[in-house]
């Protein structure tokens, strides 16, 4: 607890069992003489731990004590002799000299490192090992380069898999010269009793083609347009080599030509020339139709019309925009025409869904209603149906109400408040007792984060009362136990008593300091706490770290903190040691 001056003649005031003082002033108090260096311990009464008194007696003698050998037990008679007889007083020696047959251990003769190793197991010398390292193994291989002359011999040999040119095979070329190519042809004259199909050759008599058709190809360079000649006057039939020709043409050697088209009409250049006629399906330009242009000038264009005057509709007559198609759009323009659209109406699909796009501000004197459920009125976005509200279609979330108490998020979405930091990112609750309720759906319990009367903390489970809170002086108050870490024996191993030297080292080296808090350093380093007083007695984290490093924690901002609970085991061990010393001195525990 500190120091005590016995010279005051009185014990420390208000002692509590376990109080412990170091004597710094000599004096007699309570019929006990106290010297500097003694220690005072309070149990049921004050007890002295003597660190300074002289020895009261030695071997039963007091005063100026001189001891003789007999005063010290266990020395024996030989301890008082000036000399001894080797043969009489020395035991364990041989009875005769030289000694009779006997044995010694390896250690007795300095050979404790020697063992009886079999010859095959004995190690070889360094020189032998060096010689062996230069030899090849009994079973080994060589590269081609390591076999003299092997590469030059292999260079004169062919590869196991190789090929030859025709010239390198004797007689092969002459044998091939007497053979036909794999892909070869014959002239018709080379084949007996057939008609020559490649040369111009007359075929006499009537020939019957059992296939039922004759195909003649090659007219005009088109392989599908052929010419068939009939008789001696070069009469012929052919199909024009046009891409989509639908006619046959008949000609003769005099130049006369007639055509048979797909409709069955035969014409010739002499009696009918279709080149001078218009097609059945033909068109005219506006200029080729008399009076058409002037008639059109008085009409509105289907592709767009501009009215310079006012367009008036008869009473109750609708303004109807038609011809929009499955996905057409109707536009209402401003004064500048295209690019200055006031609004547009687009048909979305064949179910007659339409989108209205408005460019600029729209002033609506009454209510704007959508589907009889949502409307804008008096500055509010209003939903008329419970369970609906605002919804973000791209992200699948929003806000809605289904009772008179809560505004709910839709789609299980979370809330993010993003700002520049500090108070700019606050979620602010204002009331005389602001509270955040957390409901555990699995357990059916409610828990609160609560603020009231400058106290801020946590309320008990399902009970609106404090379980832990910070008061206005930044003190923390807890109504239950605080569990920092587990001490269960099942979680630990290598369990032994802390050594007395470690405990003593802790108390010898740990320094209790008296100091003032540095306000400027606190403002600069921002340790996130405020001292309870300007001047205090305590410890220095850096010094404590040198004594017992596990007692000091370093926070993310670099500030070091002494974890005082780590010192409790040392305090318990020291008190236990002091109690034992008191018991050993006869003062009781």
pLDDT at 396: 92
Q: Are residues 569 and 522 in the same domain?
A: yes
pLDDT at 537: 94
546-556: average pLDDT: 91
pLDDT at 27: 92
Is 129's pLDDT higher than 80? yes
Q: Helix (H, G, I), strand (E, B), or coil: what is residue 219? A: helix
Q: Degrees (nearest 5) of the Cα angle 171, 175, 177?
A: 120
Of the residues 49, 64, 81, the one at which a domain ends: 49
Q: Are residues 499 and 474 in the same domain?
A: no
22 in a domain, yes or no? yes
Structure tokens at 478: 């807890």
Backbone phi, psi, residue 89, to 5°: -100, -10
* Cα–Cα dist 372/384, whole Å: 8
What share of the chain in percent tops pLDDT 70?
66
Contact 411, 422 (CB under 8 A): no
357 in a domain, yes or no? yes
Q: Are residues 440 and 505 in the same domain?
A: no
* Cα–Cα dist 37/60, whole Å: 27
Sheet holding 20-25, edge to edge: 2-5, 20-25, 39-42, 46-49
Q: Are residues 330 and 404 in the same domain?
A: no
Q: Are residues 379 and 413 in the same domain?
A: yes
205 in a domain, yes or no? no
94-104: average pLDDT: 75
568-584 vs 500-509: helix crossing angle, rounded to 10: 110
Is 538's pLDDT higher than 90? yes
247 in a domain, yes or no? yes
505 pLDDT tier (thresholds 50, 70, 90) = very high
Mean pLDDT over each residue of the chain, to the nearest integer = 77
Give the DSSP H or E segment for 467: strand 466-470
Q: Are residues 507 and 569 in the same domain?
A: yes
Q: Are residues 354 and 373 in the same domain?
A: no
pLDDT at 323: 52
pLDDT in tens, 245-302: 556 666 665 555 666 665 556 555 555 566 667 777 788 888 888 888 888 887 777 6
Structure tokens at 581: 């010393």
pLDDT in tens, 452-503: 889 999 988 777 888 888 888 888 888 877 776 678 888 889 989 999 999 9
pLDDT at 106: 79
571 pLDDT tier (thresholds 50, 70, 90) = very high
Number of Cβ within 10 Å of residue 469's Cβ equals: 19
* Cα–Cα dist 33/26, whole Å: 8
436 in a domain, yes or no? yes
Higher-confidence residue: 339 or 169?
169
pLDDT at 174: 86
Domain count, the chain: 6
Is 76's pLDDT higher than 80? no
Q: Are residues 329 and 255 in the same domain?
A: no
pLDDT at 104: 79
Higher-confidence residue: 123 or 341?
123
Helices marked H in 230-283: none
304 in a domain, yes or no? no
pLDDT at 140: 85
Is 397's pLDDT higher than 80? yes
* Cα–Cα dist 41/15, whole Å: 10
120 pLDDT tier (thresholds 50, 70, 90) = confident
Q: Are residues 245 and 228 in the same domain?
A: yes
Is 183's pLDDT higher than 70? yes
Q: Are residues 341 and 409 in the same domain?
A: no
Is 201's pLDDT higher than 80? no
205 pLDDT tier (thresholds 50, 70, 90) = low
pTM greater than the 0.85 cutoff: no
506 in a domain, yes or no? yes
319 pLDDT tier (thresholds 50, 70, 90) = low
241 in a domain, yes or no? yes
Is 337's pLDDT higher than 60? no
Where are the strands (E) in 394-480, listed by range? 397-400, 408-410, 435-440, 445-452, 455-459, 466-470, 476-478
pLDDT at 236: 61
Which domain, by its residues, includes 240?
A: 216-267
pLDDT at 259: 65
Is 378's pLDDT higher than 90? no
Q: Are residues 347 and 373 in the same domain?
A: no
pLDDT in tens, 218-230: 555 555 556 666 6
pLDDT at 402: 92
Q: Are residues 377 and 445 in the same domain?
A: no
Give the CA radius of gyration of the chain: 61
């Amino acid at each position: 607890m500190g120091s005590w001056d016995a010279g005051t003649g009185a014990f420390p005031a208000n002692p509590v069992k376990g109080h412990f003082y170091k004597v710094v002033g000599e004096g007699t108090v309570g019929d006990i003489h106290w010297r500097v260096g003694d220690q005072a311990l309070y149990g049921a009464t004050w007890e002295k731990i003597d660190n300074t008194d002289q020895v009261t007696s030695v071997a039963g003698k007091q005063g100026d004590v001189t001891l003789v050998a007999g005063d010290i037990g266990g020395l024996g008679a030989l301890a008082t002799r000036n000399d001894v007889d080797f043969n009489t007083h020395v035991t364990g020696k041989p009875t005769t000299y030289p000694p009779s047959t006997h044995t010694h251990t390896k250690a007795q003769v300095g050979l404790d490192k020697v063992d009886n190793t079999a010859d095959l197991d004995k190690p070889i010398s360094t020189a032998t090992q060096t010689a062996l390292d230069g030899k090849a193994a009994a079973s080994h291989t060589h590269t081609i380069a390591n076999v003299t002359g092997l590469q030059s011999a292999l260079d004169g040999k062919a590869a196991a898999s190789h090929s030859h040119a025709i010239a390198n095979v004797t007689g092969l070329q002459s044998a091939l010269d007497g053979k036909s190519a794999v892909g070869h042809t014959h002239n018709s004259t080379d084949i007996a009793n057939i008609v020559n199909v490649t040369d111009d050759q007359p075929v006499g008599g009537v020939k019957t083609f059992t296939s039922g058709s004759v195909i003649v190809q090659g007219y005009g360079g088109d392989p599908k347009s052929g010419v068939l000649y009939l008789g001696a006057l070069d009469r012929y039939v052919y199909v024009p080599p046009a891409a989509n020709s639908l006619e046959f043409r008949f000609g003769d050697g005099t130049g006369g030509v007639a055509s048979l088209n797909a409709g069955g009409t035969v014409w010739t250049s002499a009696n009918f020339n279709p080149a001078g006629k218009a097609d059945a399906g033909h068109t005219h330009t506006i200029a080729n139709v008399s009076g058409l242009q002037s008639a059109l000038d008085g009409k509105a264009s289907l592709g767009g019309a501009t009215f310079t005057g006012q367009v008036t509709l008869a009473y109750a007559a609708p303004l109807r925009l038609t011809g929009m198609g499955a996905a057409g759009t109707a536009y209402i323009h401003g004064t500048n025409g295209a690019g200055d659209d006031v609004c547009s109406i687009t048909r979305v699909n064949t179910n007659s869904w339409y989108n209205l796009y408005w460019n600029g501000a729209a002033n609506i004197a009454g209510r704007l209603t959508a589907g009889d459920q949502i409307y804008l009125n008096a500055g509010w976005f209003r939903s008329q149906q419970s369970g609906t509200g605002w919804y973000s279609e791209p992200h699948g979330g929003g806000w809605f109400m289904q009772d008179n108490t809560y505004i709910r998020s839709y789609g299980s979405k979370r809330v993010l408040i993003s700002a520049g930091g500090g108070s700019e990112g606050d979620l602010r609750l204002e009331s005389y007792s602001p509270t955040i309720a957390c409901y555990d759906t699995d357990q059916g319990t409610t828990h609160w984060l609560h603020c009231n009367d400058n106290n801020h903390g946590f309320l008990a489970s399902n009970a609106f009362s404090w379980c832990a809170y910070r008061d206005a002086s930044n003190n923390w108050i807890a109504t239950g136990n605080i569990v920092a870490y587990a001490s269960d024996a099942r979680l630990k191993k290598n369990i032994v008593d802390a050594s007395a030297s470690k405990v003593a080292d802790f108390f010898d080296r740990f320094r209790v300091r008296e100091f003032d808090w540095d306000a400027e350093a606190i403002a600069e380093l921002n340790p996130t706490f405020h001292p309870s007083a300007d001047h205090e007695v305590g410890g220095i984290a850096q010094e404590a770290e040198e004594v017992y490093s596990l007692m000091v924690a370093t926070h993310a901002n670099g500030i070091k903190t002494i974890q005082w609970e780590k010192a409790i085991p040392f305090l318990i061990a020291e008190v236990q040691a002091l109690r034992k010393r008191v018991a050993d001195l006869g003062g009781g525990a």
